[in-house]
Structure 1
């Protein structure tokens, strides 16, 4: 081993020698010796001395048998590294979320960096994940640092410091699209947290996505060809997406194609397609649907007889749902799907400003966004959501539900419907009365909130009318409809985000290749995507 002592980049010099095992030959092996005149045991130099950096990201490639794994083994002997073998085994009842120390919110945010920020996935057993998901999870565990929140480099899960992460067979058994996405996400995390890594693979298609600082190409003759790269943030991923990812208008069929990737079960991710949906945007890669986003008006058209609701509908658009195919999570696709009107790139080389849309504000709300605010990297800014301060009537409703069923998921329509069906008439009447009061106040607060986003003042007469209609709906609803009203009125904390249309750029997000944890609303970088909405 040779390690540089200069104040510059650290490196070790590695020379790999293979010592093959000797011993007596079998009868059949002896026949081969006689036929070809060769001996079976002979120490050979498989790789001439080569310097491997301990700083930045190093990619080692070459055909199988050229010594990639041997280089990593020798590197593990000479430097303090972290490998898959250092990860503690998971227990028989562990879920993905259990494999990380620290607060749940920090873990959700951390997993989101690796395209794993989906609630049902995080609640899954590791052995139930796909190959691609397991590889993402392994990298997330390797890169997890001693700080417990993934925010500082230099330590392992147990807090032990290490020089670098070493990964053999990096993305080797994955389809190449997934491999490229994972390579891009991995380098982004390493660079944002100043983690050093050496990864090896037999594939030669990851260089531009991993953007290594050094690339060692090994050959059968024992030579290693080294190239040093100048990392340019986002260069290749932007070109790849720009050339091969096509955004276009979509429809309900596109949404249904990806709907099962949303974390809410089918009857709880219901969308009123007839009365609310205004537009569907999609992104395709070749023949594969990669992402879909659904936009809605806040209120059905028949409610526009009320001036306040009509003006809100004319000013605000809701981002109702975003779903990204699991293979493409982490590519910032959320920031690339916007309403068609006003979506042109703006005053670019053509100098043509984007067409001005009717609605200049997009509002998104997300439970996941409370823990992993991915909307910020799509140009949104956070706003206080009404659910952060629930009304007394809503709190009373939630308490009554849990009094009847302490373990109920009060934000599941299915669970609430089952409870209401099982309640005696007295209990059902209690829930209906509490739900009526809570639904009225929740509806009123939502109208006032959206009006404020639009810069409007809600008319008291309109609020009173909606209040009376809400009260009547709750008091006369059948059990199935009542379950929906109860779920709507029960406190469920969500994060709120808004994005305003810009005369310069339209809806588009200006990208500057910033790392996913360094974006600012003024010049936002794109970031990992996960399913949005309640």
Structure 2
């Protein structure tokens, strides 16, 4: 039995599927005895899985195929794959099983043609975390592995994404998050998605254009939809409340700057079903800030800054819940609660994840000091030693590269750092110390950690940061 409900669908591509299987048992004493006992034959029999089945799929559709194990979901998926690959209209098709991922693959190296591209695609898939960028595939959770596959497919410019047994190994909350991320990015980039699964609970978050429910035999039900859900189903259960420093400490490990923010004034906690999943920290604002002066058209004194300004020093969402708009919501809903005329934020990752803008804050462009560009050029020049300027803010990363350099190469690197000179003011280990160049070189030659710290500090200072401001109206 077949039910097909057609909505108005333009430029539709019709797919026809006929699939059956024949079975024939071997003749033995036992098979004959079974046949006689149940009154069945042992000759060849034909079973229809799809009979004159018709489905229309447009480019850019999300196709959700559900049904019990053994009902024929994977059969339909294989038939659609075969026909789509013959159609130029759908472009390049890739299945999750065709992705080649080495277990030791480092995320930032496995996606895109450059560090910039890698961070862009990883952020799109909700893997927007400095620590995650440096992790190996084998170190990821199952949910993060699905996100990584989505990022790779986007980066490899596939036009059709295919997942069999979609999210079958994930807990249902993570499965809903991954489903929402997949459809959001697919629609944003006009990609076609085919997924097959036994789970019916992903309908809301996948928001499919086509839902195929495969029953046993040739019984198939097909429904077509035009509505798209703009939010993940989990956000319906979100609550934000005021928190404290002890609660913030539970999230500190998920932020790349795992130190206490200076001058904390307010902390808010985000919960889903009473489970804390994120926090935001508001702190006192720095006295000096060029973009602030640019926005105000004057240089505020300390009294005005302390009276009217707060800065967002941390926005942390648990890695499991990233990519579904919770960061922007946490900012947007707490801005009016802090009783400040102005709220500022300075972000490094905003280029890839502009959630401050989505929360209603204004980006203020301001010319950078010249020394920052000189510093970046110098750090980029160190790539010939195997150092990536995009990752140099990590002390651990720097040490992993430095310890593998030959002694003469390491000495040449130290000499270049000393020639540059200004890099040394960013190394905490040399602050307020009067040391000769020879003494510093000896110190760095004896300790790669000191060199790693100096490079990290220089990298952080040289980062392109974006300034955002919100004004209470």
Q: Normalized against structure 2, the TM-score is what?
A: 0.73
1:142 partnered with 2:177: no
The 1-side partners of 2:345 and 2:62 are apart by: 36
| Aligned-partner Cα distance in 1 for 2:286–2:166 | 49
Aligned pairs for 1:97-116 (under 5 A) are: 97-116=108-127
Render the CA deviation track for 1:366-396: whole Å, top value 9, x for unaligned.
322244434332323333467x435389949
- Which of 12, 16, 22 is the matching residue for 2:15? 12
Paired residue for 1:383?
A: 364
Matched, 1:499 2:461: no
Deviations for 1:188-207, whole angstroms, at most 9, x for unmatched residues? 11111111122111111111
State the match for 1:277 in structure 2: 264
Whether 2:316 is the aligned partner of 1:311: answer no
Separation in 2 of the partners of 1:100 and 1:436?
33
1:276 positional shift: 0.6
Partner of 2:53: 50
1:354 equivalent in structure 2 = none
Distance 1:32 1:246, change over 3 A: farther
> Structure 1, residues 282-335: CA drift from partner, whole Å, max 9, x if none?
2111242221111111259xxxxxx82332232322111122112211111112
Within 5 A, what are the aligned runs for 1:395-406? 395=375
Q: Does 1:224 align with 2:215?
A: no
CA positional deviation for 1:341 = 7.1
Unaligned segments of structure 2, at least 5 residues: 1-8, 86-91, 288-299, 403-410, 435-442, 444-448
Distance 1:500 1:94, change over 3 A: same
Residue deviations 1:66-90 (CA, integer Å, cap 9, x gap): 1111100111222216242673523
CA apart distance, 1:131: 0.9
Q: 2:28 & 2:251 partners in 1: Cα distance?
A: 59
Q: Is the 8 A contact 1:366 1:496 kept in 2?
A: yes
2:346 aligns to what? 365
User: How do residues 317-336 of structure 1 correspond to structure 2 at under 5 angstroms?
Assistant: 317-336=310-329
Cα deviation, residue 174, structure 1: 0.9
Higher RCO (C-alpha 8 Å, min separation 6) = 1
Q: Against the structure 1 CA distance between its residues 10 and 296, is the aligned structure 2 distance closer, same or farther, given a 3 Å change threshold? A: same
Cα pair distance change 1:380/1:132, threshold 3 Å: same
1:415 Cα shift? 9.4
Asked if structure 2 preserves the Cα contact closer than 8 Å seen for 1:361 and 1:498, the reply is no
Q: Secondary structure at the match of 1:337?
A: helix
Match of 2:175 among 173, 179, 186: 179
Residues 43-68 of structure 1: CA deviation (Å, up to 9, x unaligned): 20023333233311111111112111
Q: 2:180 aligns to what SS in structure 1? A: helix
Q: How does 1:85-484 map to 2 (within 5 A)?
A: 87-91=98-102, 94-144=105-155, 146=157, 156=158, 164-234=160-230, 237=232, 240-242=234-236, 244-262=237-255, 264=256, 268-272=257-261, 276-299=263-286, 308-338=301-331, 343=336, 358-384=339-365, 388-391=368-371, 395=375, 411=393, 474=432
1:59 aligns to what SS in structure 2?
strand
Aligned equivalents of 1:292, 1:185: Cα separation in 2: 21
Contact conserved, 2:153 with 2:161, CA < 8 A, in 1? yes
